[in-house]
A and B are shown apart, each in its own frame.
Chain A
């Protein structure tokens, strides 16, 4: 078994990197994969909160790097999936406590025993971002359908290409089909047109995502959630399956309203 190392990044902050990591990791674990998440946001950790594992942290990634514990000891087992682990970031240190070669070494140690290693990159394009992409086999860029988020995503894609990390795949997060229909939001086509990279998923705006993050229970486990379905689809695509994209078109009329109301569309 040799794990694929996937880094989730965005350039801009607040577009949903951490939420995407937590949901994809849970979705992969639901399919029986062995998954290790790494929080790359040293000093501003929150993947542990979104995964609901905050109170179990004893050691963190900086403890591993500085030799205070073994890698195994810093891996926190998930509450629901015994094959899902989190390596938390240190909250009281900064990005300089980790170097790109540290990340490469940790991922090399994890590879033999996992199917997927998912790294949550911090926002920005500085040291923390470089640490996070150092070991990546594949990079997912998360963006929102907003001009500023797309421009930052474009910058990140340019850096990844310049550093010969290969072309990343794109997740468009928090798309609101009603706003798109009324021309009040960039459409998925507009975003793809500018970035020119391969799309791996569109996640519709869904308030259950926020509720799930606050509860530490990622929405992907909710079979009725549209966003959860989108994340489950992305996880299938990461496993090499060909899953058709969801139909996000707004339904008109009473029937459409009923479908939307019941969340079944």
Chain B
């Protein structure tokens, strides 16, 4: 039984500390197996920085918070959770954990290539300071984007709310990406490799669209109804 548990979690050294790779099993078993490995060799794990590759595992905030606290009590700091599940990835981002380790896995790249123009991450809450949301498609936010937060999308970003943080659309070089918001008072906007600081004074909020214009510059303009009827 013990051996069975141990084989569920593989731990190896990587450039940034230790990487724990989990087999396909219920989360509770994986968690127990990981803690058991750590408790068997406390000296080895003392002060370690741990990244986890949890595969398809769907993890909620409570799962990760519990584990992080249990690890922290053993003086192991969890800094990254790599997952194929968007839910888990989102959870990790909310908790301020990295979702990629230095070397992206080959299958991760493949997954990104499959993302079509119509894929969007929908976030129904205000993005607060210190939160970084990354997504290999479009991002839609129903809420504000507060100062000190970052949104990075490979596609476009649409915010039904106020933008006062940093937004980077077309992060992999797509110059056709746009950023729209009800109030675009961002500290900084980026589309592809164009950067624009303070776009307008934060008075008189109105819906705006930022895009790269024909001269190749990042520009924001007021949203107008295209076909008045």
Contacts and interface: CB of A to CB of B under 8 A. Distances in A.
B128 A155 contact: yes
Nearest to A196: B126
B197 interface: no
Contacts of A162: 61, 94-95
A159 B128 CA distance: 9
Contacts of B126: 196
B62 to A, nearest CB: 6
A154 B146 contact: yes
B69 A130 contact: yes
A194 interface: yes
A158 B72 contact: no
A134 B70 CA distance: 12
Contacts of A127: 72
A101 B65 CA distance: 13
Interface residues of A, number: 22
Contacts of B94: 158, 162
Contacts of B164: 194
B148 A151 contact: yes
A163 B72 contact: no
B31 to A, nearest CB: 15
B62 A158 contact: no
B61 A100 contact: no
B75 interface: yes
Contacts of B146: 151, 154, 194
B65 A152 contact: no
B95 A130 contact: no
Interface in A111-167: 125, 127, 130, 134, 147, 151-152, 154-155, 157-159, 161-164
B131 A158 contact: yes
Contacts of A157: 128
Given A101-B73, A164-B61, A155 B144 contact: no
B65 A154 contact: no
A133 B163 CA distance: 29
A132 B146 CA distance: 25
A99 interface: yes
Interface of A: 96, 99-101, 125, 127, 130, 134, 147, 151-152, 154-155, 157-159, 161-164, 194, 196
18 contacts: A100-B72, A101-B73, A125-B130, A127-B72, A130-B69, A134-B69, A151-B146, A151-B147, A154-B147, A155-B128, A155-B148, A157-B128, A158-B129, A159-B95, A162-B61, A194-B144, A194-B146, A196-B144
